[in-house]
Chains A and B, each alone.
Chain A
Amino acid sequence: MASERARAAALVPVDVSLLSHVLLTPLSGIVMWCQMLERQPQLPPTVKRGLHAIDHGARAQVAILENLVEMSRLHAGDRELHRTRVDVVAGAHDVVAQATSAAEPRGVLLVFAGPAAPCFVEGDPARLRCALRNVVDNAVAASSDGGRVEVTVEETVNGVVFSVADAGSGLTPATWARLLVLGDLREARAARRHGGLGLGLPITRHLVDLHGGTLVMRPNTPRGCQVVITLPRAP
């Protein structure tokens, strides 16, 4: 046993970027085939449901994988961002399209409203997508069947504002504060009532911090909550 531990300790640390590539590429193949097959006319309902399930399962694994990679970076103290100009409107479109596979089967209506023109920030495109997706996925998970999630993007004097509002059971400020902290296993267990690992919000907060932005939660009217990410505009 001791020699096994020694061998394990001597192993070269896994390159998370490489691991991410190796795992994401075959998942992308599954997602792409689902998109291709769903375009076929007159699919039997069972086949449609099956494709939805496969698509949703593959996308859920992509989300988990990206959050685990991000957690690994966080633990390693890696704060490096590969910055470029990122259009938050296009990013929001993408994450809304991705979340549809989880929303549709439960009758959750995902609504997106944003300007026709791009809203640019300076950021790491893949990691910003991860942050936006986490917030949308959480809102869909927190919604009741037949609920509604509103995603908006707007450019304000304070920066580019990405907002997600749901009509779920809502969060108290104290619960919100606890959910933002990585490593509280009790809250992680609570989060799993909605099917998650409890990683999404801490990772999102970390990514928003790295980009010099803010992440806040407000009560939504008449129920649920609104999560707002504000990012500095690109110069």
Chain B
Amino acid sequence: MTSSVGTILLVEDDFVLRAALAELFTSEGYSVACAANGLEAFALLSNKAMPKPSVIVLDLMMPYMDGIEFRALQRSLPSVSDVPVVVITANGSVAVEAEQLAVARTMFKPVNSWRLLDAVRELAPAAA
């Protein structure tokens, strides 16, 4: 493991996929903050002890607060509204709805891990 090259906020309700993605990013030197839904992610963003994330990797269909609601909320918060978002989803129709919320990338499950890493590296060059 190398030293941290930035923080990724990972928002995914499936714990198996969340663990795999966290492992992927950690192995590339990123710090990873995990949330199981939009509400948990919002709580992390509101926590002053947490560094501002370089990228948010966001699932869409989640309980309590889904990815679309979370993205709308994030865009309304001046301190984090500029953090780029990579959407990962299994649902094409919701993905198109998400694109209207100006996300940086949309990827479909099962996600190609190399393509996802490329996107994260491209969107967080200042931290790398």
- Chain A: residues with CB nearer than 8 A to chain B? 17-18, 20-21, 24-33, 35-36, 39, 58-59, 62, 82-84, 90, 93-94, 97-98, 124-127, 129
Query: Chain B residues near A83 (CB, 8 Å)?
Result: 96
Residue pair B90, A25 in contact (C-beta under 8 Å): yes
Expressed in whole angstroms, the minimum distance between the Cβ of A194 and any Cβ of chain B is: 23
Whether B32 sits at the interface, judged by CB under 8 Å, is no
How many B residues have CB within 8 A of the partner chain?
A: 31
Interface residues of B, dominant DSSP: helix
Residues 85-111 of chain B, each 1 if its beta carbon lies under 8 Å from chain A, else 0: 000011111111101000000101111
- Chain B: residues with CB nearer than 8 A to chain A? 13-14, 16-17, 19-21, 23-24, 27, 59, 61, 89-97, 99, 106, 108-115
CA distance A24 to B115 in the complex (A): 19
Given known contacts A32-B20, A36-B24, A94-B115, is B96 in contact with A24 (CB within 8 Å)?
no
Given known contacts A32-B17, A124-B92, A126-B92, is B109 in contact with A24 (CB within 8 Å)?
yes
Residue pair B112, A28 in contact (C-beta under 8 Å): no
Query: Chain A residues near B111 (CB, 8 Å)?
Result: 28, 32
CA distance A31 to B91 in the complex (A): 17
Given known contacts A20-B91, A32-B113, is B17 in contact with A125 (CB within 8 Å)?
no
CA distance A127 to B91 in the complex (A): 10
Residue pair A21, B90 in contact (C-beta under 8 Å): yes
